Each structure stands twice: as structure tokens, then as C-alpha cells.
Chains A and B, each alone.
Chain A
Amino acid sequence: MDKKHFSRRDFVKAVGAVSGAVVLAACQPEVVKETVMVEKEVEKVVTQVVKETVVIEGTPQVVEKVVEKVVTNTPAPKAATQVSFMVPGSPNEDADFAPVFEAFNEMYDDVEGIYAPAGTGYGSKYNDKVMTMLAGGILPDCFKSLDFFGSLADMGVYVPLDDYIAAEPEITQFDDFFQAHVDACLYKGEMMALPNDGAPVGYWYNVDMFEAEGLELPDWDTTWSEMLASAQEMTKVENGLTTSYGFGRPAWRIWVWSNGGLEMSEDGSKCTLDEPEAIEAMQWIQDSIVEHGVCPGPEALAEISQGERFQTGKLGGFTGARGGLGGLRGIEDFRFDAAPMPKSDKGIRMTQLLIGWTSIWKGSKEYDAAYKLAAFICSQEGQRLRISRGYAHPSRKSLVEEEWYKTYQCPKCNSFGVNSVFPEMLLRGEARALPAHKDRAQIDQVINTELDYLWDGSRPAEQVCQNIATEVNKIVSR
């Protein structure tokens, strides 16, 4: 009697624990095999495999039953091809894209676009999700890429778009894209994406701080020396503590480029950061931190980023993308504006273009439909509908001419510099995107680690640059 007692209840309990999971599986709506689309009205016998939980001798068990059903198909309208598009997703982004998808679905009868936010926000989590989905083979048809563009391009994840661009000139309107944006989407000479949007990095400055010292506001002719001189006036030190700085840490790539150097050779096979122009540019930055004290060092930046520091009104200027307007629009206490990137003392200005890429996944089943969606998202209409908040910068020359873009204003902007400076740099050819490189992540990591020695002044620029070149060349030659 003991044994029977034990075996029944125990068996039930043990199986129950296991079937818990299986029952949950059974509770999912069963995956119905594709219903057959037919033109005529037919009666068809369709067999389906259905999972059901039945109780046998007091034990819940899951059985599979083969069920035959008679299905009558009425002629249905031809199902629209569904294509989905993934972005990191956020409340604002969701709101931005809603009108785009509405317009797209109205425009096309045979294609249905689905907006599929990843729910990760912007950051490394989006990368993780894309990688996992890639590994599992279930990416959406189109998706936005972040800085892993070069690596994925190298691995053949994207569909090359040149043929589609040639075949669909009307929906693509290729010539309307800024040249810099187009270049950013190339990998080994092939277009691997369409440019979503993107702005060059500009120079945001605090108008009140400049005027308080009687300084000339930054403009198209400002050079590094002038920038330094202004910064020295604006930097204030009290009791050994710097309470306001002249400018934030300049984006080092922009400095290298503006000085006539490049951090990697054109074909991406060699690091050229150890060349004199690059070293000179890096040294300039280090001097501004260590020698002149007009730029915050690593300690100061660890406690508050330069964008945030600017919002407190204690930073004369900083290099930032136009998208930074999103964080700056709440500023109430002082006037600010955007200026072109200062020229190096050699007279060159070359700023960095930061872009978003819209690509098609190689494993998608619907290239044609996916291309229609991608093209629409990047089209004039698509961008116009999306850039309602005013932070994104269109990738099309025609759009920056439109009134809504030219007159976008936020409370404390001093002038329309915000709207004119960025497209102008693009049109002058003074903006360039970082070329796609398959080892971008690793290269950047190595560079950033070594740069820690530059920012705190513990190693001179020449040594830092040479160390970087050695390390990076090791990576690219593997």
C-alpha cells in the first residue's frame, strides 16, 4: 500500500512538473500550416496536427492528434507581401515612424510594411539583438544598422543594392542624396544600404558665454588658434577648481582629418595615425587639456559628459552631432547656437558625418518588396514624415531646402545656424563619413584604450599614436 501510494502521487507530481512546461507549449495557438491560396472556390480536405492535453488515468498527458477538416476556400484577395523593418525603437521613434508606415501602406496594395521595433533602445543591446537574430536566422527583411555596419557588410549580411537602385530610379531618386551619405553606404565599392538620415558633427556654442567676454562668435573662418584663444578667456578657475571650461574634448578623428591626416589608409589595410599630421592634431588636443586647461580631462568627463556639461551653462562649446539638439532643446538659461567646425590652422575643415543605414537582409525572402520599403523610408516623403521633431537631418539635398527644415527653431537658439550650418558643410564637401571597416569595433576599442594615456597627459601624442598604429596594424593584418 505504501508503494502504490508513493508511486501514484509521486508519479503525478513529477510528471506534473515536467508537463507544466509542455502544457504551456500546448496552450500556444498551434502553428497552422499555410492555407493554400487558390483562385477558385474549392472544398479541400486539410489535415492538421493538433496538440491536446487529455487526462489518462488521472495523469495529464499531451497527445498529438491528426485532425482532418474540410475547408472551403473562397477566393481571397491576393495576400499582400509582408515586409518588416526593425529599428531600436523608443516612444519618439515609434511616433516618428507611424505616419511613414501609414503612407507606405496606402501607397502600395501588394506590399504591407510592418514596423518592428526591437525594444532595446540605442546602445549595445541593439547590437546583441541583431546578432542573436542573425544567428537564429530570423532577422526582419529591412533593418537599421548602427556602428557594426562594416562588419556585417563584410560577412555578407546585406543585399547589395546597386541593381535595385538602377532598376528603380523613381522611388530611389539617387542623385538627391548627399554625396557624403552615399559614400558612407559603400563597402568595397558596392552600395550596401540606403542612407536613412544623418548629420555632420558641428560645433555647438554658448552665445552668452562668448558675449560675456566680448568674444567674436564662431563662424566659417574660425581657426583652431582663435578657438583656443576664446577658450582661454572663457575658462574660469576658482580655488584650483575649474568652474567653466572653454570647450569640450574635440572629436579626435575630426581633428586628425582637418589637419590633413587620416587614421586609416584609404583601403583600410594600414593605420596611419603615426604620421606627422595626425600626431600634430592629437598633440593639439592634449595641450588644450593639460597645458592650457581649457578642456576637461578624463576626471571631469567621468563625472559629467560634455553634452550634459554644456546644458549646465559652464562649457563654452563642444563638438556634437546635430542630433544633439534633442538633448539641448530644453535649455532655458542661456542662448546657444551651432557653428561650422573650426578650421585647422592649415585652413582645412573636414568634419565627420554620422549616418543611419537602412539595409536589406540577405536572408529575406522578399527582396523586391523590401527594397520598396527601404526606398520609401529614405525617400523625400518618408524622411519628411519622419523628421517631425527636427533632430534628425535629412540625407537629401532637396529636403534641406524645404521651409519646415529651414525654419525649425527651438526656444534658446540664437539664430538659424542650427539649420544652415550642417547642410552647408555637406554641400561644401567638408563632411565625410567613417569608411566602413570590418574590424571597426576592435580597432576603436584599442584606440580608445590607448587614448586614455593621451587625455590624462601621461604619454605624449607621438608615443600614443605609435602604440595605436602598432596595435591596429596587428588587428588588420590577422
Chain B
Amino acid sequence: MSEETITAHGRSGYRRLEEISGWLFASPWILGFIVFTAGPMIASAYYALTDYNIVQPPRWVGLDNFALAVSGDPLVWQSLKVTTIYAFVSVPLQIVFGLAVALLLNADIKGLQYYRTIYFLPSILSGVAVAMLWRWIFSANYGLLNALLALVGIRGPAWLGDAEWALPSLIIMSMWHVGGGMIVYLAGLQGVPTELYEAADVDGAKWRHKLFEITIPMITPVLFYQLVTGIIQSLQVFTQALIMTSGGPKNATLFFMLYLYRNAFQYFKMGYASVLAWILFVYILVLTLFVLRSSNLWVFYTGEVRGK
């Protein structure tokens, strides 16, 4: 702390400065939240207690929507099940693959820029084109996947056309987007101090040790980010189901968000959709808080400043 600051304001003065600065620096988000986000969120909570078809004014129904969702609608449970399976399988897979790819793309080899660009490209391909491609890959009789499996003598399933394999197909499809995670890991990997590796080399450490005892601990802040955002995003996935399978076959890929979307925009039941939204909100919040709490045990920040 600067001598001048202390003498001018005293330690408590600096603390007050910090307090005000904290709010000030965070004010862009806080302002945006108050103006653009809080209102709509409160509105949607209100809609959840109404029968609202968007066109006509909402009609109060109290907890009827909630009761229906919880006890009278089997599709709610089906879609929660589908979404949960998807999230719990694809998030760990994406984290592991994303990190693996990033480590490979962080190696000291020639042509790194080109490799990285190639691995990054899939994450920016447009939705319709991607859907076409995957339809071909998953095609039962002419597709790439089954052709590869046939090479090792396995007769592949119908993938998207088969109620048992449709969800696994979508999970496989989600691996396509590891390019996005790769960028985050790369950024994180750059932040690992090189002296740590140098010191390890002097001790004669193998790559395994370096990976698990230096790299991974040092990037736990980034891993934490990937885990939390992975949870939040994977529980809200629905575009692929909308385009590729329409939630089928037999509701095998009826993601919660897809069901919500249908209720909101196709069945004109915005009130019911709002209740579903808040149910999902609570679900995600509980999971996230759990992960946040646990983070004290496994996330290591070099420069952590514990707050008030």
C-alpha cells in the first residue's frame, strides 16, 4: 500500500476505497442486470402463475401450472431424464477431450497455428450444414460411422433412427464442439509459470508427473469454469434435438428445453413454459451451488483474494 494512501486515509480509509471501487467496477454488469435482466426474470416468474398465450393478457391461475408439471405431465419427467443423462455424460467427456486436445495443441511442434485453426473450425460451422453432415455420418446404411464399424466387423445401429441410440448419437455429436473448450484451456495453459516445469525437469520428472502435478492443479480455475459452464449449458441444450430428431424417436431425445420451447411457442402456453423454466432454474442452481461449494477443496488460485 502506498505510504501516502495510508497516512491520508488510514487502513480503514483504504478499505472504504476498495469497497466503493468494488461496486463501481462491477457497476456495468449490475446496471445491465437491473435494466435488462431483472425485469424480464420477474415477469417470467409472474407468467408462471398465469395462463398466458402471448397474444391475450395473462390470466391468473396460481399454482395450477406447477401442480400440472410436477404431478400430471409425464413428459416433464421424461425430458428431465433425457437432459440429465445428456449433461452427466457429455460434460465430463467434453472436459476430458477438450483438455486432451488442448494439451496436444500446446506441444512444441511445427505448424501449431494450422493445427489449432483446423481444430477450431468445427465450432464455427453453421447449424444447418452441421445437421446435414451428421445425418450422413449417422446414416444406418450409407453413413461414415457404420462404414467404419463395418471395417471391424460390427453392424452399427440405426443411430438417430433408433430410440435407444438417438441420445448417444447426440452425445457423440456434442464432441464436435470441443474446439471451443480448447481455446479456454489454451489460455489457461499459457498462464502456468514455466519455472515450475523447469524445476520439474531438473528433478527429472516424466510427462505424467508434470501433467498431474503441475499442469492440472495450475489450471483448476479454468477447469472449474468449464465444469460450471458445462453444467449450465448442457442442461439447456436443445437446438440439435430440434433440427435433427425433433425429440424423437419416441421422445428419446426430448430435451427439457425442447419441451419448454414447444410449450412456449407452439402450444402457446407461455405460463406453463415459465413454470418449466423456473424448475430448470432451480435444478441448475442447486447443481451449480454444489459444485461451487466443493470448489474450495479442489480449485487452486495463485492469486486469490478472499472477500468480506
Contacts of B116 in A (CB 8 A): none
Once the chains are docked, how many angstroms separate the CA of A1 from the CA of B265?
A: 58
| A456-B141 Cα distance, complex, nearest whole Å | 16
* Contact between A10 and B21, CB atoms less than 8 A apart: yes
Contacts of A301 in B (CB 8 A): 161
Q: Is B249 an interface position by the 8 A CB rule? A: yes
Are the C-beta atoms of B268 and A151 separated by less than 8 Å? Answer: yes
Return the CB mask of A444-473 against B: 1 if under 8 Å, else 0.
010011001100100000000000000000
Given A2-B4, A298-B158, A303-B140, decide whether A14 and B54 contact each other with a Cβ distance below 8 A.
no
Shortest CB distance B105–A (Å): 33
In Å, the complex CA distance between A302 and B170 comes to: 14
The segment from A57-65, A128-136, A393-401, A427-435 that touches chain B is A128-136
User: Taking the complex as formed, is B9 at the interface, i.e. its CB lies under 8 A from any CB of chain A?
Assistant: yes
Taking the complex as formed, is A148 at the interface, i.e. its CB lies under 8 A from any CB of chain B?
Answer: yes
Contact across chains for B55 and A152 when beta carbons are under 8 A apart: yes
A131–B266 CA distance with the chains assembled, in angstroms: 9
**Which size class do A's interface residues fall under?**
35 or more
Pick the contact of A155: B2, B56, B136 (CB < 8 A). B56
> Is A299 located at the chain interface by the 8 A CB criterion?
yes
Q: Quote the shortest CB–CB distance from A154 to chain B (angstroms).
A: 9
- Interface range on chain B: under 10, 10 to 19, 20 to 34, or 35 or more? 35 or more
B140 engages A300 (CB within 8 Å): yes
- B28-60: which residues lie under 8 A (CB-CB) from chain A? 28, 31, 53-56
The residue of chain B having its C-beta at the shortest distance from the C-beta of A443 within the complex is B267
A14 and B27: CB pair below 8 A? Answer: yes
Chain B residues contacting A127 (CB-CB under 8 Å) are 265-266
Task: Name B159's closest neighbour in chain A (CB-CB).
Answer: A302
A80 within 8 A of B: no
Residue of B nearest to A474 (CB): B72
A156 within 8 A of B: yes
How near does chain A come to B254, taking the closest CB pair, in angstroms? 8
**A17 within 8 A of partner (CB):** yes
By a CB distance below 8 angstroms, the chain A residues around B161 are: 298-303
- Whether A14 lies near B25 (C-beta < 8 A) is yes
B8 is an interface residue with CB less than 8 A from chain A: yes
Q: Say if the beta carbon of B248 comes within 8 Å of chain A.
A: yes
Q: Are A1 and B143 touching (Cβ within 8 A)?
A: no
Report B79-123 CB contacts with A as 1/0, cut-off 8 Å: 000000000000000000000000000000000000000000000
Complex alpha-carbon distance, A253 and B169, angstroms:
31
- Given A124-B242, A156-B56, A452-B248, residue A303 in contact with residue B135 (CB < 8 A): yes
Are B28 and A18 in touch, CB under 8 angstroms?
yes
A2, A127, A148 — most chain B CB neighbours (10 Å): A2
- B139 and A303 within 8 A (CB): yes
A interface: dominant SS: helix
Q: Which residues of B contact A441 (CB under 8 A)?
A: 262, 266-267
> Closest residue of chain A to B136, judged by CB?
A303
Which of B4, B56, B160 has a CB less than 8 Å from the CB of A302? B160
Bitwise, A155-185 to B at CB < 8 A (1) or not (0) is: 1110000000000000000000000000000
- A contact residues around B25 at 8 Å (CB): 14
Contact of A448 among B135, B143, B158, B248 (CB under 8 A): B248
- Please measure, in the bound complex, the distance between the C-alpha atom of A439 and the C-alpha atom of B53, giving whole angstroms: 12
Is B196 an interface position by the 8 A CB rule?
no
Distance in angstroms from B274 CB to nearest chain A CB is: 13
| B4 contacts across to A, CB distance below 8 A | 1-2
- Known contacts A18-B28, A127-B266, A148-B266; A304 and B139 CB within 8 A of each other: yes
Q: A128-B265, A155-B268, A303-B140 are in contact. Are A452 and B249 (CB under 8 A)?
A: yes
Are B251 and A14 in contact, CB atoms less than 8 angstroms apart? no
Inter-chain contact B265/A452, CB cutoff 8 Å: no
A376-414 contacts to B, CB under 8 A, are none
CB of B267 within 8 A of CB of A452, answer no
How distant is the Cα of A298 from the Cα of B53 in the complex, in angstroms? 34
B138, B140, B162 interface centre (most CB from chain A within 10 Å): B140
Residue numbers of B with Cβ under 8 A of A are 2, 4-5, 8-9, 17, 21, 24-25, 27-28, 31, 53-56, 135-136, 138-143, 158-163, 242, 246-251, 262, 265-268
* 18 A-B contact pairs sorted by A residue (CB < 8 Å): A2-B8, A6-B17, A6-B21, A124-B265, A127-B266, A128-B265, A131-B54, A135-B54, A155-B56, A299-B162, A300-B140, A300-B161, A302-B138, A304-B135, A439-B267, A449-B247, A452-B163, A452-B250
**A contact residues vs B (CB 8 Å cutoff):** 1-3, 6, 10, 14, 17-18, 124, 127-128, 131, 134-135, 148, 151-152, 155-157, 241, 298-304, 439, 441-442, 445, 448-449, 452-453, 456
